[in-house]
Structure 1
Amino acid sequence: METAPTLTLMVGLPGSGKTTLAKRLEEETGAVRFTPDEWHLFLFGDDFHHPEEHALHDERHSRVEALQWDLGKKLLQKGVSVILDYGFWAKEEREEKYREALALGARFQIRYTHAPLEELCRRLEARGREGRQDVFSTITREDVESWAALFQPPDQEELSGSYGK
């Protein structure tokens, strides 16, 4: 009997270790990993704090995520596990993906990465200094603080994948 594919959501703020863990899971499981920052940077460059392009950044990022999820759904239908490395800050987004995974006949899991605010800022600052091409290089402490205020950490029900079962 074949095992159903798994949809894995990487949940956490920038700098919390999501992509590092997602890459490890990709290697260990053979799942296909979708990290929108990598695609965004390849297609559009680091437009996050670019004054003339910042207005387009969110729209571009949403389109990249939509394309990745469209491909992800096709892979799940073909029996291939998928890792969405999006952050999923809102519980509503996570619940939506849970319902979609079930509708596709896939299993579902959340992998939550967390680090204290000071550590997030330290890691993001180090990334910026390294000049890496696979991450946005100009994330400020103010950005992280505003995002942390919006972030809804997953609760035990979510982490168990039960959602009211």
Structure 2
Amino acid sequence: MTILFLMVGLPGAGKTTRARQLAAEHGALRLTPDDWMIPLFGEAEADGKRDVLEGRMLWLALEAVKLGTNVVVDFGCWSRDERSAIRWLVEAEEAHFRLVYLPVDDETQRARIAHRWMTVPEETLPMSEADILHGQAHFEEPDATELEGRRIASPPPGWVGWREWAADRWPTFA
């Protein structure tokens, strides 16, 4: 059965390195927004264009899953709602969903970010201390229920379903 691997973690956790390994091991299409943001826009956010790009990548990931192609989605997915929506969408296509969470401690995170900037600046988005702290403050760490894949939470109040929520979160998904 087709698998979609969802990489979850903060910058510097090793998500892209692990995503590359999973793509090679499983013959999977790897979708990493940073690989596109730098060549297209030269920055991480670019006035909301990252959400636009992620929406199309999510759409492409589901199209690939429908065709029987394994996919590695390397978005980071800091929010539980994002992860729940993607899991629901993947399982609605009768594919397997695997959450790959890579925790990272403060010291290791900063060291990896600094190393990446020094060794491959052309592939690296600048990240300030404020950016690191913002990420840490907004990241919702997966709990045991989510990591074990036992159940998908309901969409947030006001949403009919995860597909509708995802179309709002990633405007180009729909």
TM bin (shorter chain): 0.7 to 0.9
- Does residue 1:162 correspond to 2:137, yes or no? no
Aligned to 1:149: 137
Distance 1:164 1:120 in 2: 29
TM-score with structure 1 setting the length: 0.87
* Partner residue in 2 for 1:64: 53
Give the alignment's Cα RMSD to 1 decimal.
1.6
Q: Using the TM superposition, give the Cα deviation of residue 133 of structure 1 relative to its aligned residue in structure 2, in angstroms.
A: 1.9
The sequence identity of aligned pairs, in percent, is 33
What does the per-residue CA deviation read over 1:77-124, in whole Å, with 9 as the maximum and x for residues that have no partner? 011111110001001111111110111111111001111112111111
SS at match of 2:72: strand
Structure 1 CA distance, aligned partners of 2:4 and 2:152?
19
2:28 to 22, 28, 31: 31
Structure 2 residues without counterparts, runs of 5 or longer: 154-174
User: Is the 2:84–2:152 contact (alpha carbons within 8 Å) kept by the matching residues of 1?
Assistant: no
Deviation, structure 1 residue 132: 2.9
Q: Distance in 2 between matches of 1:144 and 1:58?
A: 19
* CA distance, structure 1, for counterparts of residue 24 and residue 68 of structure 2: 17
Aligned to 1:105: 94
Q: Given the alignment of the two structures, is residue 134 of structure 1 paired with residue 131 of structure 2, yes or no?
A: no
Residue-pair matches, total: 153
The runs of 5 or more residues in structure 1 that have no matched partner are: 49-55
The residue aligned with 1:115 is 104
> Could you tell me how far 1:43 is from its partner in structure 2?
1.1
The alignment's TM-score, normalised by the length of structure 2, stands at 0.83
Matches within 5 A, 1:77-96: 77-96=66-85
The answer on whether the counterparts of 1:117 and 1:145 sit within 8 Å (CA) in structure 2 is: no
User: C-alpha separation between the residues in 1 aligned to 2:146 and 2:98?
Assistant: 9
Amino acid across the alignment from 1:28: E
